[in-house]
């Protein structure tokens, strides 16, 4: 059993939603995405924030794609 298979979906979805919305109000993920689109994402801490807050979303996407590829004929 792989590492991704051992992570339950409810836990991963909860962590993904929480990390995407923290801090409540103006979330870091939305703020950093706007900075990336606007070309103002320059400081290393901003890049780290973008990676940190989007990591659970990437893990969820990889888990979903892996599961879907197993079911494909």
Give the chain as a DSSP string: --HHHHS-HHHHHHHHHHHHHPSSSS-HHHHHHHHHHHT---SHHHHHHHHHHHHHHHHHHHHHHHHHHHH--
Domain membership flag for residue 72 = no
**pLDDT above 90 for 62:** yes
Name every residue whose Cβ is closer than 8 Å to that of residue 22 and which is 6 or more positions away in sequence: 28, 53
Domain extent for 41:
3-67
Name every residue whose Cβ is closer than 8 Å to that of residue 66 and which is 6 or more positions away in sequence: 2, 4
pTM (global) more than 0.85 = no
* pLDDT tens string 8-26: 999 999 999 999 888 877 8
The domain tally of the chain equals 1
Stretch 48-65: mean pLDDT = 93
């Amino acid at each position: 059993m792989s590492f991704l298979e051992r992570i339950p979906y409810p836990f991963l979805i909860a962590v993904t939603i929480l990390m995407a919305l923290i801090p409540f109000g103006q979330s870091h993920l939305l703020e950093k995405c706007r900075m990336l689109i606007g070309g103002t994402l320059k400081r290393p801490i901003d890049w780290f924030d973008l990676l940190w807050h989007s990591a659970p979303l990437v893990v969820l996407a990889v888990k979903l794609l892996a599961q879907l590829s197993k079911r494909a004929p």
